[in-house]
Structure 1
Amino acid sequence: MTFVEYVLIGYFVGVLTTAPVGPVNVMAIQHAVHGGFRQGVYVGMGAVVADTIFAAAAIFGVSAVTNFIEGQINLIEIVGGALLIVFGIKIWNTHPHLDKDGNGWNRGFLGDATAAFFMAITNPGAVIAFIAIFGGLGEFRPSPGDHFGALVMVSGVAGGATTWWVVVSAAVSRYRARIDDRWLDRANHIAGFVLVAFGALIYLKLLLGLTLLK
């Protein structure tokens, strides 16, 4: 695969893993509602740093593991697909709440970014999600030992995550009066559906592979 393809795949993963509305997304939306575009982006940048660390750990970890268990790729994909489906269902059933009272949403870049970073980096589900996704990519991820390709894909993840926060902050600051809990629910339903669909596609690929071997 080309480096452009690695960037695009990483970009998609970055958007996919950032889109589910959890505590950081709610925090960014609240800041964008009360403080405008920049306040939302400040929160997002802290989360981008955490997601980039998770992505690097996941993709280099998966590469290192596959050096030793190349014969277990199907097992990795089976587990990864199951985790994605479970996460998707959990996200679908999550109902975040948006606080619009406006108290304390303007701490500046350092305070907002730091708070978001620690909120994201202490979420154990995030790194599992990254491992599940990269494990399920199969031949679409860099080969073991292709460190440059892995770095390119990680940069794509950072780019996708950054794009998400910029778009969300811009949309929320523009349409802040229309943002409510129902809007957050719809966003989670979309993200949950995509995760479940991605997990199902992994199983479909495995099923087709097994069928062709018969």
Structure 2
Amino acid sequence: MTFLEYVLIGYLVGILTTAPVGPVNIMAIQHAVHGGFRQGVYVGLGAVIADTIFASLAIFGVSAVTTFIKGQFDLIEIVGGALLIIFGIKIWNTHPHLTNNGNGRDHGFLGDATAAFFIAITNPGAIFAFLAIFGALGDLRPQHGDHVGALVMVAGVAGGATSWWGIVSATVSHFKAKIDDRWLDRANHIAGFLLIAFGALIYLKLALDFIT
């Protein structure tokens, strides 16, 4: 595969893992509602750093594991697909709440980014999500030893996550009067559906490979 393909796949993974509405998304939305676009992006950039760390650990870890247990690629994809479906169902059934206790004050880049980073880095579900996705990618991810390809895909993840926070902050700051808990539920339903669909596609690919 080419570096461009690795970047695009990483970009999609970055969006897919960032889109579910959790504590950091709630924090970013609240800051964008009360402080505008810039405050929302500040929060998001802190989470991007954490996601980049998780993505690096996951992609290098999965590549090493699949090389160590040669011949078990299908098993790893089966487990990864199952985890994606489980995560998707969990996210679908999650009902986040947006509070209105912000005061619109500019908290500054460092404070908001640091808070978001620690919220994201202490979320154990995030690393498992990255492991599941990279494990399920199979031949679509860089193989063990392709350090440049792995770094390019991680850069794609960071780019996708950053784009997501920019889109969310711009959308929320523009339509802040219409943002409520039902909007958050719809966002989680979309993210959950995409994760479930991704897991289902993994099983469809395995089934087609078995038939042929």
TM-score (norm 1): 0.97
Contact 2:31–2:104 (CA under 8 A) maintained in structure 1 = no
The residue aligned with 1:33 is 33
SS at match of 1:99: coil
The residue aligned with 1:70 is 70
Q: CA RMSD of the aligned region, Å?
A: 1.0
Q: Measure, in 2, the Cα distance between the counterparts of 1:103 and 1:174.
A: 18
The residue aligned with 2:154 is 154
Matches within 5 A, 1:17-28: 17-28=17-28
Gap regions ≥5 residues in structure 2: none
Gap regions ≥5 residues in structure 1: none
Q: 1:124 to 1:104 in 2, by over 3 A?
A: farther
The residue aligned with 1:84 is 84
Contact 1:30–1:105 (CA under 8 A) maintained in structure 2 = no
CA offset at residue 103 of structure 1?
A: 4.4
CA offset at residue 101 of structure 1?
A: 2.5
Aligned-partner residue type, residue 33 of structure 1: V
Q: Measure, in 2, the Cα distance between the counterparts of 1:136 and 1:105.
A: 43
SS at match of 1:21: coil
The residue aligned with 1:206 is 206
Contact 2:33–2:176 (CA under 8 A) maintained in structure 1 = yes
User: Quick one: percent identity of the two aligned structures?
Assistant: 79
Contact 1:63–1:144 (CA under 8 A) maintained in structure 2 = yes
Q: Measure, in 2, the Cα distance between the counterparts of 1:63 and 1:90.
A: 27
The residue aligned with 1:108 is 108
Residue deviations 1:24-74 (CA, integer Å, cap 9, x gap): 000000000000001000000000000000000000001111221121111
Q: 1:61 to 1:105 in 2, by over 3 A?
A: farther
Q: Measure, in 2, the Cα distance between the counterparts of 1:77 and 1:57.
A: 18
The residue aligned with 2:188 is 188
Q: 1:105 to 1:25 in 2, by over 3 A?
A: farther
The residue aligned with 1:7 is 7
CA offset at residue 9 of structure 1?
A: 0.2
CA offset at residue 106 of structure 1?
A: 3.7
Residue deviations 1:92-123 (CA, integer Å, cap 9, x gap): 00000001132486421111100000000000
Q: Measure, in 2, the Cα distance between the counterparts of 1:161 and 1:69.
A: 31
Residue deviations 1:101-154 (CA, integer Å, cap 9, x gap): 324864211111000000000000000000000000011001111000000000
SS at match of 1:70: coil
4+ residue segments displaced more than 4 Å: none
Q: Measure, in 2, the Cα distance between the counterparts of 1:200 and 1:157.
A: 22
The residue aligned with 2:170 is 170
Q: 1:69 to 1:34 in 2, by over 3 A?
A: same
Aligned residues: 212
Aligned-partner residue type, residue 38 of structure 2: R
Q: 1:16 to 1:81 in 2, by over 3 A?
A: same
Aligned-partner residue type, residue 94 of structure 1: T
